Amino acid sequence: MAVFPDEHASDEELRRLEDEVLEGRDGEERSGFEEEVAADEGDSPLAASFAEAASPTAPRRDSRDRPVTGAPATGGAAKGGRELPSPLYRLRATHSNETFFGYWEGEGELAPRSWVVAPTRYGRDVCELQGLVRCPGHVGQEDIFKIDRRATEADLAKARANEELERKAFELCRQKIEARKLPMKLVAAHYLLEEPKVLFFFSAESRVDFRELVKDLVAVFKMRIELRQIGVRDEARVTGGCGVCGRVLCCHGVSDKLTPVSIKMAKDQNLSLNSMKISGPCGRLLCCLAYEYGFYRDARRELPGEGVRFFYDGVLFRVIEVNALSGSVKAAGEDGRVLDFPAARFVHSEGKWKVREELPEQGRT
């Protein structure tokens, strides 16, 4: 993340900038230009702020400028053995489609799909309350934030008014990018509810020198500008769309937690390895490949792999296909026969796969 104040920043503003730069440098969602600024402007106070943020000895802070220590807790308890606050809700920041946990200390219960005002990783904003969380699983205390209040009609009206400003800001920023011929794709723009700051999300294949672009934007908006470079999967999460299955993209409508997906997941599920069929609109492998992979992985442990050879009926057979879902194995023999074997007939003994002559009692119908 790179945050730039106006051109004549005071020492206090630079210190505040330093604190903001120390915020999470997480995965794909970082500018990548931060190190360039520190290298190119070695003697300036602004470069010193970036250099300290990049230092391995600098304290890591979360998105609310709080020091982060220790590891996340498990089993519904916060790190250090403390219990998580209750009631615990899942919130969604609508502009980025990210979700996080929040707790409520006000009167009454909060209804699902209602609107609340809460701190997000970008600043205080209007968020959608998705519902009550009963089993949060692995979560650290630093990942849970207090819900400030229920959103009022004034808050919602301001959020709707900001939508029109965001459309204009998006178009203006895109024109500035085209004028300077920068190799970046603008994804979204967002005004925060209670802070004079504009967020711009963009994607690019490499690091981009956007210093002159920031000066142009500051001159127009007269407020703080924050640029965030995101990856192509995060871009799909923010913009949404329709998948090859005809439903809304998983990263946008199912879960914003992007888990790693590998080609091995498609291979183990006997799916076509044609990249056009197993890739999403973002150009990456489909998120849904990871949904059932655990079942296929565990099932294949009880079955011989493709290419395994074994003797049956006095003939050497070779496994040519394994269907973990139906629990069957297809093998070709040296005598030209191609047979389908139920998975229950295979047993691994003395380092070799063997076929039982008869199904075990539990396998009979």
Whether the pLDDT of residue 115 is over 60: the answer is yes
Distance CA 214, CA 37 (A): 13
Q: Is the peptide bond before 87 cis (omega within 30 degrees of 0)?
A: yes
In a domain, 303, yes or no: no
Confidence bin at 360 (pLDDT 50/70/90): low
287 shares its domain with 330: no
Distance CA 182, CA 175 (A): 11
In a domain, 40, yes or no: yes
Whether the pLDDT of residue 53 is over 90: the answer is no
Domain count, the chain: 5
Read off φ and ψ for residue 304, nearest 5 degrees: -70, 145
Q: Domain range spanning residue 209?
A: 156-230
Residue with token string 């291979």: 267
Number of Cβ within 10 Å of residue 265's Cβ equals: 22
CATH code of the domain in which 191 resides: 3.30.300
112 shares its domain with 94: yes
161 shares its domain with 225: yes
84 shares its domain with 130: yes
338 shares its domain with 359: yes
Q: What is the mean pLDDT of residues 321-350?
A: 88
In a domain, 72, yes or no: no
Q: Which residues on adjacent β-strands are paired with residue 100?
A: 91
Domain ends where: 182, 199, 230? 230
200 shares its domain with 246: no
Domain ends where: 230, 246, 265? 230
Domain ends where: 211, 230, 249? 230
Whether the pLDDT of residue 15 is over 70: the answer is no
Considering 33-42, 79-88, 174-183, the range whose residues carry the highest mean pLDDT is 174-183
Whether the pLDDT of residue 14 is over 90: the answer is no
Task: Give the pLDDT score at 78.
Answer: 54
Q: Which residues on adjacent β-strands are paired with residue 150?
A: 116
Task: Give the pLDDT confidence of 242-299 residue by residue, as tens digits.
Answer: 888 888 888 888 877 778 888 988 888 888 888 888 888 888 899 888 888 888 888 8
Whether the pLDDT of residue 74 is over 50: the answer is no
286 or 26, greater pLDDT: 286
State which H helix or E strand residue 93 sits in.
strand 88-93
Task: Give the pLDDT score at 76.
Answer: 54
Task: Give the pLDDT score at 225.
Answer: 92
In a domain, 84, yes or no: yes
Residue with token string 């956007």: 210
Task: Give the pLDDT confidence of 181-210 residue by residue, as tens digits.
Answer: 999 999 999 999 988 899 999 999 888 888
Distance CA 171, CA 184 (A): 14
Whether the pLDDT of residue 105 is over 70: the answer is yes
Q: What is the mean pLDDT of residues 326-338?
A: 90
21 shares its domain with 61: yes
In a domain, 282, yes or no: yes
Task: Give the pLDDT score at 227.
Answer: 92
Do the Cβ atoms of 360 and 342 come closer than 8 Å? no
In a domain, 173, yes or no: yes
Confidence bin at 59 (pLDDT 50/70/90): very low
